[in-house]
Structure 1
Amino acid sequence: MDGVSVDEGNTHFASPSSGLPFPFSLFDLRGRTVLVAGASRGIGATLAEGLSAAGGDVIGCGRTACEQISSQVFDYRVCDLTDGGAFQALCADIASSRKNIDAFVFSAGVTYPSQSALQNMDDFSRTISTNLLAAYSCTLSALQWMSGPASIVFITSVNSALGFPGNPGYAAAKGGLRQLAKALAVDLGDMGIRVNCLAPGYVKTAMTAESYADSTRRRQRIQRTILGRWGEPVDLVGAILFLVSDASLYVTGQDIFVDGGWTAKGL
């Protein structure tokens, strides 16, 4: 391209054989193996379904059976993500037939909000264990079968950048995950592996059902956004396609907030 300097040794574009015209070929995931951890329901299941619709060979996993119809359009495995040995075995099994893992998405998460001023230590520890420690453990396992160009995406939250009441474990875990992504982006850049975060605002899922059912809290959250509504899991699909595909080959260590404008809004 005129006026653009390209290091040809590090360039990887979608294959013209995809049959899709540029720039749509950049989002084509055919021939890519994508592992989505935390795909049993909600955001994770919807992301897995969207990645599959874009042509990806998607394997979803989580500690319980998949609750959504999504399980009919991607391969789903039951696996406790806090059990490092079990997840490592899952990755090895995937690699034995697919040869490699091209993208890893960590969408698993739990929340134990406190009704009092401070969260108890047990709930804090459980949150950190699933939302942060498991993310790193699972990433280490997936990396054994990844080579560049490849993509890792952590699903964080507006809680990764803003303080919210009654749930310090969740904010600490998501904030830690945000910084973990930046550190890994530095460590893995030479391998051609990009690491980014997709940070949702309030999205209607089973995890947020109690807040949504409360008309006062539902209205408060709507008023904090610019677009004047809660998010839906499908609102995140475009961003995950961008981060997993060749469309984001020069993007790493970044946070993409899909929050209806929550983090941008002042008065």
Structure 2
Amino acid sequence: MTETESMVYRVVPKCACSTIGQIMYYSDHGAFFDGDIHDAQDGIIKWAQEENQKKIERNVKTHKSFAFTCVRNPYTRILSSFFDKICGIQRNGKRYRGNLVPLLIQKYGIEVGSPEDNFDFDQIKSFRRFLLFTRDTIKFRRPMDPDIHWSAMSGHVSTFIHNGGTYDHIFWTENFNVGMKKVLDNVKTPQKVNLKTIPRFNESAGHGPERAHPVEDYFDDLSMHLMWEIYRKDFELFKYDFDNPGNKLPIGDIDLHEVHKKLGS
């Protein structure tokens, strides 16, 4: 939430959350946060700050401010999670979540490469094995609980509704400027935001290897079956094309009434 309570944003990981956070910060202060917005301890109000939880709760339950979130194509989102979190070296110079990558290498036979070998490994084979691991964490909670970066978007979106929130707008990462403009058109902010000049804050860029193949090459018939098993609600509610992994664009309009009805129950 912005400090001025002009808007409330339900963060969904891997869906332009760094850029949205920086826009919110800028709309209050006229400058971007110097660093990763996820590290900001002041200048923006977060649920992780215990002293601010009551303030957010009051705002959300009374629907005081314009509330929104942003979603992304499930195929490109899970690929991004793989290359950033599994293959990549994090900002602290270490692998994500310590022993996670060794666990994946041991139990699922995944290869991730390293900066020393220029991340030379079979991306498609390793990604498909990672997808099997993802399914195991989400469906069976083993060998660990699902991580926020690959748990379903509908799960993230639903907690806001379950806790008394109502969305005014849900938009797509793939049509970012149009969606974010609708948010800014509906709120009053101390600082004017010009979306055309806002940079993209991709905090995961440069962490790991570049994707070497088109999106559709990573998903064979079995992979698509797993994607449907894990992310069916994401495809259906946010109107993405399940049948064609190569089409990252939505194929319909998000129905807010449907989202609240199906995720609120």
So what's the TM-score if we normalise by structure 2?
A: 0.32
Ranked by relative contact order (alpha carbons within 8 Å, sequence separation 6 or more), the top structure is: 2
> Which of the two has greater strand per residue?
1
